[in-house]
Amino acid sequence: MKVLIVHAHPEARSFNGALTATAVRRLAAQGHQVRVSDLYAMGWNAVLATDEFAGFAQGDYFNPAHAQEQAYSTGTVSADVAREQHKVAEADLVIFQFPVWWFSLPAILKGWVDRVLSRGFAYAAGRKYDTGLLKGKRAMLSLTTGTASTLYTANGIDGDLHHILWPIHNGILAYTGFTVLPPFAAWMPAQVTDEQREHYLERYAQHLAQLDELEPLFFHPRHDYDQHQQLKPGVVARSGVQWNPRAGQSFEASAAAFKQH
């Protein structure tokens, strides 16, 4: 298996760094090929703008998605984006490693999504969700938080983590066709003991060792929708979160209060 880790933390010695190092070691030991896109180290340009489109002339009207589609179809994608798209195209599994900043991705990682998962490469007209262009690949979030797991529950002040991650899981990963594996969360690693941090790394190694046994998150298949892209009568809407004990093993016990919703 070929694995791409898209890594987004500005400090190499951070716990995010330790998680990625663990993943590289563990996956290599299992015989997988692993590549890391370390966005801060690469000086990744986070901003989708006209400057990356060679075909764009001063005064042209800039529609980002159209520009992406045209660049992709004419083979004029900028070199930095093309390199990342090549890595994604080769990968069987893409892992996103990041600290949760403002209940979401750090801007540098959002900018990787904005620019790399372009219209033409990752999705197109009529090619989204289970016909997305990255169909057949798997993706997974591995994240760290600044607060405790108990706060990220339905009754906790920050709200259910699965609810918070839904726009990413559904709107980025499932949207482009990825099969979405349950996320791995290391809760406020900056404020726990060395033993707890070691424990997180062990659990992450276990999580990676059992990827094939993890139940992917649930998303309604296309045939659950009618021609207006509405769930058909009788199909009960449920979110990408299908709570099950196996997936639950990736979370600390204190997060067991997560609810299906």
Of residues 74 and 155, the one with the C-beta less far from its own copies: 155
Using rule CB under 8 A, residue 223 touches its own copies: no
Whether residue 112 contacts residue 84, with contact meaning beta carbons closer than 8 Å, is answered with yes
Contact with its own copies (CB under 8 A) among 74, 230, 244, 260 = 230
Residues 48-107 touching its own copies, rule: CB under 8 A, are 48-50, 61-65, 101-107
In angstroms, give the least distance from the CB of 151 to its own copies: 5
Instruction: Work out the end-to-end distance of the chain between its first and last CA atoms, rounded to an integer number of angstroms.
Output: 33
Does position 17 interact with its own copies (CB under 8 A)? The reply is no
List, in sequence order, every residue forming a beta bridge with 185; answer none if it has no partner.
Answer: 143
Rounded distance, CA 100 to CA 167, Å?
Answer: 13
Which listed residue (151, 181, 211, 241) binds its own copies by CB under 8 A? 151
Is the Cβ of residue 32 or residue 114 nearer to its own copies in the bound state?
A: 114
Please tell me whether residue 181 binds its own copies under the rule CB under 8 A. Answer: no
Among residues 52, 122, 44, the alpha carbon closest in space to that of 88 is found at 122
Question: Rule CB under 8 A: is residue 162 a binding residue for its own copies?
Answer: no
Nearest residue (CB) to its own copies, 29 versus 65: 65
Instruction: Among 47, 54, 209, 256, indicate the residue that binds its own copies (CB under 8 A).
Output: 47
Q: Which is nearer to its own copies, 51 or 198 (CB)?
A: 51
Determine if 168 is a binding residue for its own copies (CB under 8 A): yes
- Which of 27-35, 42-50, 179-187, 243-251 is the region at the interface with its own copies (rule: CB under 8 A)? 42-50
**200, burial (CB in 10 Å: exposed 0-12, middle 13-18, buried 19+):** buried
198, 201, 203, 205: CA torsion to nearest 10: -140
Tell me the C-alpha distance between 117 and 111, whole Å: 10
Q: In the structure encoding, which two tokens stand for residue 184, read together? A: 């791995």
Q: Does 218 bind its own copies (CB under 8 A)?
A: no
Please select the residue that binds its own copies; options are 68, 158, 201, 251, rule is CB under 8 A.
158
At 145 the three-state DSSP class reads: coil
Show the tokens assigned to 187: 């809760």
Measured from the CB atom, the residue of 62 and 215 that comes closer to its own copies is: 62
Residue-by-residue DSSP string for 29-75: HTT-EEEEEEHHHHT------GGG-TT--TT----HHHHHHHHHHTT
CA 123 vs CA 40, 46, 53, 89: distances in Å: 26, 20, 19, 13
CB of 63 to its own copies, least distance (A): 7
Q: What is the spatial distance between Cα 200 and Cα 14, in angstroms, rounded to a whole number?
A: 14
Q: Is 110 in the site for its own copies (CB under 8 A)?
A: yes
Q: Rg of the chain's alpha carbons, rounded to an integer?
A: 19
- Residue 68 or 179: the one with the smaller Cβ distance to its own copies is 68
Residues interacting with its own copies, by CB under 8 A? 10-11, 13-14, 40, 44, 46-50, 61-65, 101-108, 110-111, 113-114, 117, 129, 146, 150-151, 153-159, 163-164, 166-168, 170-172, 175, 190, 220, 225, 228-231, 237, 239, 261
